[in-house]
Amino acid sequence: MQLVKLIIPKRIKTLHCLSLAFLVLFFVSAMPAFSQDNSPYSRYGIGDLVPASNINIRGMGGISAAYADFLSVNFNNPASYSAFQSFIESKSKRLISGRAVLDVGLNFESHTLQESNPPRKFATGNALFSYVQVGLPLKQNWGMSFGLRPVSRISYKIFNRQMLKDPNTGLPIDSALTRFEGTGGTYLASVGTGFALIDKNKAGGKMKERLSFGVNAGYLFGKKDYSTKRSLYAPGDTVIYYQGNFESRTTYGSLYFTAGLQYMVPVDTTKRITLGLGAYGNWGQKVNASQDILRETFVFDDNLGDVRLDSVYDQKDVKGKIVLPSSFTVGFIFQKPMIMEKDRRESGWTIGADFTMQNWSKYRVFGQADSVRNRWELRIGGQLTPVPNKNYFSNITYRAGFFMGPDYIKVGKNLPNIGGSFGMGLPVALNRQAPNQFTIINIALEYNKRGTTSNLLRESLFRFSLGFSLSDAWFGKRKYD
């Protein structure tokens, strides 16, 4: 019989996904201007670490080492990029298909600080950009991804009023009001690729052994702006004291690399259950940095704000290094795909765990250590995909997870961090005029607590995350006999 080939070219509409990615990035880049936050612990290290995975993974507690999904981008482990393209085969045709994916996430947070003595509470809310990522299949078992995401953020403003005393007599001298402020954060723009080193699967056949490798390369950049402003005053005092500002501004940026592996193997071919093993990480890296150091006196003007009077010390563009820690994550998943056959209809599920280690004791800023410590974290989670029917709730993927471990910041005592998550994947109705396009709205609800009553400050965070995963057929190659 004559062999007929039908080739579907790369869809022009995929370019719309790329344009939309940059439009979304432009929109969400303005979101921090409308946010409010106040986390005193963000003063240390590189700040508060933000969630480092996409929305659907965070709904499962953050298990990402062995997880791969062709409808979203797992940018934690670049080995997962090899899953953007796959085989499908029936008795009459063979299809090699791939999907381009635009994955965007937003965070809406409610942050509460609690102090035990005296008992006080402070709450803030904000809306923040989480990530924008594009995934593209290149060839069979080979894909790539690029995007931008925040790594950490710094945001605090603290007022401290105290009475200064003579160290010799112990008598009060003046009252002092000190204002501690900090802003900044770290971002990562990256591009990566992942491909299968070993793939013993055949189109339409049973699941066999598969080993994938991937690497991410990017530019890590950010800033840290810390200031301490002090005012002296005393009721009835005829002496006028100028206000002092002690400020340091640090900017940094350098290339940054991560790599990962994923290994899939069947454990029950009858039930189609597979075991996935994964690992990813990075080695300790030195980042180029530049620092401005300022010591000045100033006055406050209602129209102009802080106005400098005299510069006591002003040194600009001091070159140095920031040493970032090495980190690695290992994990596993057991998964069973949803089965939709004429005589067999079964739900799908995934369950797994991750363990992470970060060597923050090596962290240095211009040769100086900080109030940080080595960090470990355990994450456990899973998801359930029911057999779909006319009821929309049966078409939803349900996720849940749990995580625990000490925070990398250590001020006095360790800061235990514990929390849980719940998520859902909500499919959007297909467009009949564009049957290859598929959209999922991912939501995740996360709650975690940092610190206990023995710590000076306790923090609790409730986060609602909203993700949009838009995918479209990149190309398909059909062969008919």
Residue 385 pLDDT > 80:
yes
pLDDT of 160 reads 80
Give kind and range of the element (H or E) at residue 402: strand 397-406
pLDDT band at 236 (very low <50, low <70, confident <90, very high): low
Average pLDDT over residues 294-307: 74
Is residue 277 a contact partner of residue 263, using CB atoms and an 8 Å limit?
yes
Which is more confidently placed, 64 or 309?
64
Give kind and range of the element (H or E) at residue 274: strand 273-282
Buried b (16+ CB within 10 A) or exposed e, 115-131: eeeeeeeeeeebbbbbb
Average pLDDT over residues 219-237: 82
Average pLDDT over residues 283-303: 85
Interatomic CA distance for residues 428 and 422, integer angstroms: 20
| Average pLDDT over the chain, rounded to an integer | 82
pLDDT band at 235 (very low <50, low <70, confident <90, very high): low
pLDDT band at 415 (very low <50, low <70, confident <90, very high): confident
Residue 88 pLDDT > 50:
no
* % the chain with pLDDT above 70: 80
Structure tokens at 399: 């996720």
Average pLDDT over residues 97-122: 83
Which is more confidently placed, 390 or 36?
390
- Among 161, 291, 141, smallest CA distance to 223 is for 291
Residue 334 pLDDT > 60:
yes
Does this model's pTM top 0.95? My answer is: no
Interatomic CA distance for residues 40 and 456, integer angstroms: 11
pLDDT band at 345 (very low <50, low <70, confident <90, very high): confident
Question: Which range among 231-245, 336-350, 454-468 has the greatest average pLDDT?
Answer: 454-468
pLDDT band at 97 (very low <50, low <70, confident <90, very high): low
What is the topology classification, in CATH, of domain 4-480? Porin (2.40.160)
